[in-house]
Amino acid sequence: MKTSDRSTTSTPPKRAVLVGGGHAMLPTLQAAHHWTDAGHEVTLINPGRFLYYSGMVPEYLGGVYREPDVRIDLQALCTAAGVRFVDAPATALDAAGKRVRADAQWHAYDVAALDVGATPPGRPAAAIPTKPLHGLKALDASLRAVLHDPHVRRHLLIVGAGAAGVELSLNLSARLHRAGKASQLKLTIVDQADRVLPRFPVGASRYVKRLLLQRGVRLHLEAEVDALTPENGAVRAVLSSDAPDLVVDDVVWATGAAAPALLRDSGLPCTNDGFVHVDEHLQVDGHPSLFAAGDCAKVDGYADLARIGVHAVKQGPVLRDNIAQALHSRTDSALRKFKPYTIAPLILSTGTPHGLWIAGPLWLAATPMLRLKHYIDRSWIQSYQGPVHAPSRHDLWDARAPLPKPPFSVVKDAYTTL
């Protein structure tokens, strides 16, 4: 029996405050009805009703999924579990006083958990962030304009050639090619690295670069954006290299992860870059009633753990069970330990029938990888959506409708490299 399933009425009612509805918080929300049924008071504080799933958003923008397919209704989960939902960002955390400020009031807690994510570092106000994911919806207006009006021309700059920026570029470029609109949307990637996907195998990097160049995506590598300034309804991007300035319509900032201000200003034990320290139980160091998970947390002993969804998802059940233990006043010895995957596999969609599977030094580009990705993504998200939100395409093994032969060259063979 899971610890979250044990109903304990002898424990005095407690107040649990959940700050942030990220990927790691979802098992906790699903289990919260056990606690509210036992008399505990549970509150979720989150800016916005929906959580957008990181694994599916690039294909949503690429036209594979509809918006309802890629989001989870946090408010509906709260209602089903008897959890109070505060639709506002947390603006302050007083760990000594055991309270969180949101919506112009303090929310006291006996047990609390943080899953507030991260933000791209150095993002100027004129740029759209890739974290939080709902910010990418701002691209919808530009995409609709290009897709529905043959006279509209747009230029999109993506700052960052890591997994987030590359997957977004691949899906957007493929969507425009399929629609015969490639000439109407110019895509440019800027990154200070000397290749795309710099943290992944060189062979995978070359494969992706070939796809991007075949679709007309412009690459400015070993360069940085020094400034973004408004210019006649557009944005001028000043580059650090010898490349000329770029005048673009939209800028997406996909430069990694920086700690939210809430953590930096909280007085909690944090790393030099502002992420909160937690032990293997996901407890904040020195604060046994406070837990943290997902991108905002740095787990002791795993300093190099990547801030990717697969780790947040694995932390979810650990967070749920340990919150349950804290609500039931059980000792630290009963707490569950988090242990990440030794190698966390990643599958990127490419805008083609091929998925790009990467695990450490290994990589493979093949159709079965995309079908596997769609099956995993859909199965996971539907466990929180319910059958009423099932995607319009019902074959879990292949979410993509059959593609017409693309007007650009696609590498048809699968590749592997060590």
Q: Which domains does the chain have, with CATH numbers?
A: 12-118+258-334 (3.50.50.60), 128-256 (3.50.50.60)
- Give pLDDT tens digits for 222-272: 999 999 999 998 999 999 978 889 999 999 999 988 889 899 889 899 998
pLDDT tens-place string over residues 195-217:
999 999 999 999 999 999 999 99
What's the mean pLDDT in 1-5?
A: 46
Neighbours of 244 (CB within 10 A): 8
The kind and range of the H/E element at 33 are helix 26-37
If you average pLDDT over residues 47-52, what whole number do you get?
95
pLDDT band at 394 (very low <50, low <70, confident <90, very high): very low
pTM: 0.88
Q: What integer pLDDT is reported at residue 333 of this predicted model?
A: 72
**Maximum distance among all Cα pairs of the chain, rounded to whole angstroms:** 70
Cβ neighbours of residue 337 under 8 Å, at least 6 residues apart? 280, 281, 318
Looking at per-residue pLDDT, the higher value among 306 and 406 belongs to 306
| SS3 state at 378 | helix
Least confident of 119-123, 225-229, 310-314: 119-123
More confident residue, 407 or 380: 380
Report which DSSP code applies to 61. H
On the question of pLDDT at 5 being above 90, the answer is no
Q: How far apart are CA 350 and CA 394, in angstroms?
A: 21
Angstrom distance (rounded) from CA 276 to CA 357: 31
